[in-house]
């Protein structure tokens, strides 16, 4: 018996449908990464890491935060992050994925209901599968549908808390959630609102504090901020009331049982927060680049600009998206094809990510290359 045959068959099936994922090195102009402010390779972050090493900050933690891995750099970062975002407490995780899994597997309780946007990140779904609460999806960016899901649950006898889970800026379409309406719904239901600021942190809000900055600090608002996108480093924070953070410290398995994030990463993130405060021109330059890109790319077939740094170009068929990305790669542009199940069936796309790693001239060159490739009408661009 070939023990590997089943795995080979599944990979062959993915390949036949042009959905096989592969690791590719970074090459060409960066229209793919989430390094929106161009901090990942910045001189200032490099200097901060060098200075931290010089003062003895270790590279590795050596254990979990609850054993010997709790370093002063972790605690300094959490205190500074809580103050920066206006939260009562902040808790550092190794990644946004780990933070979402820990949050949703831990905080909603057995009698509770989590209603989530149908397009929330996979990490939310994985956390909910590990948790004890009931869950239900509502239509994308539709607070009324979320309210209906909660009302249906109550009518079936649901008596716990309602949790509403949204992203503030969605990573595949670049559109924003109607946060004020979701906040009103959470208040009306005496429930909680969980906002994932992953793609908004550093880019939007006062000093880059995100799209939900006006809501943070409320007793019923929990926010997640990642350090590996616009901040250029890694890790993620959960910002919440002190009591909920202490509950996560005691019960969230991705926190309790994981080796702590490297202290040197915490030191770099402290510098990244300082950059957000002290270099607002980075956000201004990104806004100008986004406006220029929408003017040059927004009229292309399948383009769906949303006024943010994420500009999808809906192609439709999986294979067509893959071939278009490959053709752009041959011309020196790193733009990746995104296919189901990451996006809905029939909406395979190029996800054009705008960052300070490219210039206005680079955007013009990309627009020219796409026109040369003669996109034609987008196939399957409409959502079902």
**35, 112, 117, 167: which is the annotated catalytic residue?**
167
**71, 116, 199, 225: which is the annotated catalytic residue?**
199
**225, 229, 334, 362: which is the annotated catalytic residue?**
229
List all residues 6 or more positions away from 380 whose beta carbon is below 8 Å from its beta carbon: 314, 316, 317, 346, 347, 348
The pair of structure tokens assigned to 297 is 């790319």
A 10 A CB-CB count for 274 gives: 14
H/E element holding 162?
A: strand 162-167
Residue 292, Cβ density class (10 Å: 0-12 exposed, 13-18 middle, ≥19 buried): middle
The pair of structure tokens assigned to 308 is 């943010």
Q: Which residue has the tokens 């970074």?
A: 26
Query: Residue 71 catalytic?
Result: no
End-to-end CA distance of the chain: 43
CB 67 within 8 A of CB 74: no
**123, 171, 213, 357: which is the annotated catalytic residue?**
171
Q: How far apart are CA 357 and CA 40, in angstroms?
A: 10
Distance (Å) of CA 14 to CA 18, 213, 337, 339, 343: 6, 41, 15, 11, 15
The pair of structure tokens assigned to 89 is 């407490």
**71, 74, 116, 121: which is the annotated catalytic residue?**
121
Pairing of strands 221-226, 162-167: unpaired
**73, 112, 196, 294: which is the annotated catalytic residue?**
196
**34, 90, 141, 355: which is the annotated catalytic residue?**
34
Query: Residue 117 catalytic?
Result: no
Pairing of strands 192-196, 162-167: parallel
Query: Residue 171 catalytic?
Result: yes
Q: How far apart are CA 42 and CA 236, in angstroms?
A: 20
Query: Residue 196 catalytic?
Result: yes
Query: Residue 229 catalytic?
Result: yes
CB 236 within 8 A of CB 226: yes
- Angle, CA 181 vertex, CA 293 and CA 128 arms, to 5°: 85
CB 273 within 8 A of CB 265: no
Residues belonging to the active site: 34, 121, 167, 171, 196, 199, 229
């Amino acid at each position: 018996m070939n023990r590997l045959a089943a795995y080979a068959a599944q990979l062959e099936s993915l390949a036949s449908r042009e959905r096989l994922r592969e690791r590719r090195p970074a090459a060409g102009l960066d229209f793919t990464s989430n390094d929106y402010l161009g901090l990942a390779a910045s001189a200032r972050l490099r200097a901060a890491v060098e200075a931290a090493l010089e003062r003895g900050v270790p590279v590795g933690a050596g254990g979990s935060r609850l054993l010997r891995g709790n370093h002063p750099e972790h605690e300094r970062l959490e205190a500074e992050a809580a103050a920066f975002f206006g939260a009562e407490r902040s808790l550092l995780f190794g990644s946004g994925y780990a933070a979402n899994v820990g949050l949703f597997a831990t905080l909603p309780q057995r009698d509770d209901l989590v209603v989530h946007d149908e397009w929330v990140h996979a990490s939310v779904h994985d956390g909910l599968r590990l948790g004890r609460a009931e869950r239900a999806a509502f239509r994308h960016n539709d607070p009324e549908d979320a309210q209906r899901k909660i009302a249906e649950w109550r009518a079936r006898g649901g008596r716990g808390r309602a949790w509403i889970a949204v992203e503030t800026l969605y990573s595949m379409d670049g559109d924003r959630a109607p946060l004020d309406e979701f906040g009103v719904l959470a208040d009306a239901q005496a429930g909680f609102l969980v906002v994932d600021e992953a793609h908004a942190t550093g880019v939007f809000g006062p000093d880059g504090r995100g799209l939900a900055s006006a809501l943070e600090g409320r007793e019923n608002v929990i926010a997640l901020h990642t350090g590996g996108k616009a901040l250029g480093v890694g890790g993620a924070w959960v910002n919440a009331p002190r009591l909920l953070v202490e509950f996560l410290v005691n019960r969230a398995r991705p926190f309790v049982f994981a080796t702590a994030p490297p202290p040197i990463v915490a030191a770099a993130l402290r510098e990244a927060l300082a950059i957000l405060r002290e270099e607002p021109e980075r956000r201004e330059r990104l806004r100008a680049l986004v406006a220029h890109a929408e003017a040059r790319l927004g009229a292309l077939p399948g383009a769906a600009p949303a006024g943010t740094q994420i500009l999808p170009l809906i192609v439709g068929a999986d294979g067509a998206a893959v071939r278009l990305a490959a053709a752009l790669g041959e011309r020196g542009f790193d733009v990746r094809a995104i296919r189901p199940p990451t996006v809905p069936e029939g909406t395979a796309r190029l996800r054009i990510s705008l960052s300070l790693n490219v210039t206005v001239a680079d955007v013009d060159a990309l627009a020219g290359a796409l026109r040369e490739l003669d996109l034609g009408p987008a196939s399957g661009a409409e959502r079902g």
